[in-house]
Amino acid sequence: MLHPLLQEIIDKNKPPAVELEVDKSLLDSINKAFLDLERKNEELLLRCQHPGTAAISTLDSILSDTFTILGGDKELFKAKAATVSEVIDRAEIVKELTSTKIKKIKQLEKEVSHSKNIQKIARAGSWEVDLTENIDSKQDYWSDELFNILGVKPGSIDLTYHSYLALIHPEDQGLFEREVSKAISSRGTYDIEYRILSGNGSERLVRDMGSVQTDPLTGAASKMVGITFDITHTRETENALASANAELQTLFDSMEEVFWSTDMVQNKVLQMSPACKRVYGYGPEDMKNDPELWLKVILDEDKQTVLSEVPRLESGLAIHNEYRIRHKDGQIRWLETRITPTLNIDGKLIRLDGINSDITAKKQAENALKKNELKFRSLIQNSNDAITIANDCLQFTFVSESMTGMTGFSPQEMLNTSILDYIYPENHATVQEMLVPLSENPGVPVYFEFPFRNKEGNWIWTEGHVTNLLHEEAVGGYVANFRDITERKTHERSLEISNEELKKTNNELDRFVYSVSHDLRAPLASVLGLLEYSQTETEDEEMLGNFELMKESIEKLDIFILDILDYSRNARVEVKKQKVDFRELLKEVNSSLKFMSNGKSDVSMKVNIPENSDFYSDKGRVSVILNNLVSNAMRYYNPNITDPYVQIDVSFNVEGVNIIVRDNGIGIDEKHHQKIFDMFFRVSTKSTGSGLGLYLVKETIDKLNGTLEFKSKPGFGTEFKIFLPNLA
Partner 1 sequence: MEINNFSYHKVMVVDDAKIDRFLAEKVISKYSFAEEVVSVESAISALDYLSTNTGDEEALPDLIFLDINMPEMNGFEFLAEYNKLPENIKKKCIIIMLSSSLHPEDKELALQSPYVCQFLNKPLTEQKLIEITSI
Residues that bind partner 1 (CB under 8 A): 514, 517-519, 521-530, 532-533, 536, 562, 565, 594-595, 620
How far the first Cα of the chain sits from its last, in Å, is 141
Phi, psi of 654 (to 5 degrees): -60, -40
Task: Give the residue with the Cβ less far from partner 1, 233 or 594.
Answer: 594
Smallest distance from partner 1 to CB 526, Å: 4
Smallest distance from partner 1 to CB 430, Å: 45
Report strand pairing: 656-663 vs 717-725: antiparallel
Tally of CB atoms within 10 A around 165: 12
CA distance 572 to 642: 43
Distances (CA, A) of 179 to 127, 172, 174, 232, 233: 16, 11, 9, 21, 24
Task: Give the residue with the Cβ less far from partner 1, 237 or 515.
Answer: 515
The alpha-carbon radius of gyration of the chain (Å, integer) is 67
Spatial CA neighbour of 127 closest among 230, 224, 199: 224
Task: Give the residue with the Cβ less far from partner 1, 218 or 536.
Answer: 536
Task: Give the residue with the Cβ less far from partner 1, 25 or 526.
Answer: 526
CA distance 630 to 635: 9
CA distance 387 to 481: 4
Smallest distance from partner 1 to CB 554, Å: 10
Task: Give the residue with the Cβ less far from partner 1, 184 or 554.
Answer: 554
CA dihedral (47, 50, 52, 58) in degrees, to 10, reads: 10
Element (H, E) at 628: helix 619-635
Smallest distance from partner 1 to CB 620, Å: 6
Task: Give the residue with the Cβ less far from partner 1, 112 or 527.
Answer: 527
Smallest distance from partner 1 to CB 558, Å: 9
Spatial CA neighbour of 258 closest among 241, 227, 236, 282: 282
Task: Give the residue with the Cβ less far from partner 1, 230 or 618.
Answer: 618
Spatial CA neighbour of 258 closest among 148, 353, 388: 353
Task: Give the residue with the Cβ less far from partner 1, 122 or 522.
Answer: 522
Smallest distance from partner 1 to CB 632, Å: 19
Smallest distance from partner 1 to CB 564, Å: 12
Smallest distance from partner 1 to CB 676, Å: 25
The answer to whether residues 73 and 45 touch, using CB atoms and an 8 Å cutoff, is no
Smallest distance from partner 1 to CB 537, Å: 8
Spatial CA neighbour of 360 closest among 329, 316, 394, 404: 329
Task: Give the residue with the Cβ less far from partner 1, 599 or 639.
Answer: 599
Burial per residue of 693-712, b for 16 or more beta-carbon CB atoms within 10 angstroms, e otherwise:
bbbbbbbbbebbebebebeb
Long-range contacts of 700-708 (CB under 8 A, 24+ apart): 700/566, 700/570, 700/621, 700/624, 700/625, 701/625, 703/570, 703/575, 703/618, 703/621, 704/575, 704/617, 704/618, 704/621, 704/622, 706/656
Long-range contacts of 640-644 (CB under 8 A, 24+ apart): 643/604, 644/602, 644/603, 644/604
Report strand pairing: 656-663 vs 189-197: unpaired
Task: Give the residue with the Cβ less far from partner 1, 132 or 526.
Answer: 526
Element (H, E) at 66: helix 53-69
CA distance 726 to 728: 6
Task: Give the residue with the Cβ less far from partner 1, 82 or 522.
Answer: 522
Task: Give the residue with the Cβ less far from partner 1, 437 or 523.
Answer: 523
Contacts of 275 (CB under 8 A, 6+ apart): 254, 255, 256, 257, 258, 259
The identity of residue 685, as a single letter, is T
Smallest distance from partner 1 to CB 598, Å: 11
Smallest distance from partner 1 to CB 715, Å: 35
Smallest distance from partner 1 to CB 502, Å: 23
Task: Give the residue with the Cβ less far from partner 1, 24 or 518.
Answer: 518
Provide the CB-side half-sphere exposure for 217 (13 A, CA).
0
Contacts of 151 (CB under 8 A, 6+ apart): 196, 198, 199, 200, 201, 202, 204
Smallest distance from partner 1 to CB 532, Å: 6
Task: Give the residue with the Cβ less far from partner 1, 149 or 528.
Answer: 528
Smallest distance from partner 1 to CB 648, Å: 21
Secondary structure (3-state) at 261 = strand
Residue 684 region, left (φ>0) first, then alpha (ψ -120 to 50), else beta? beta
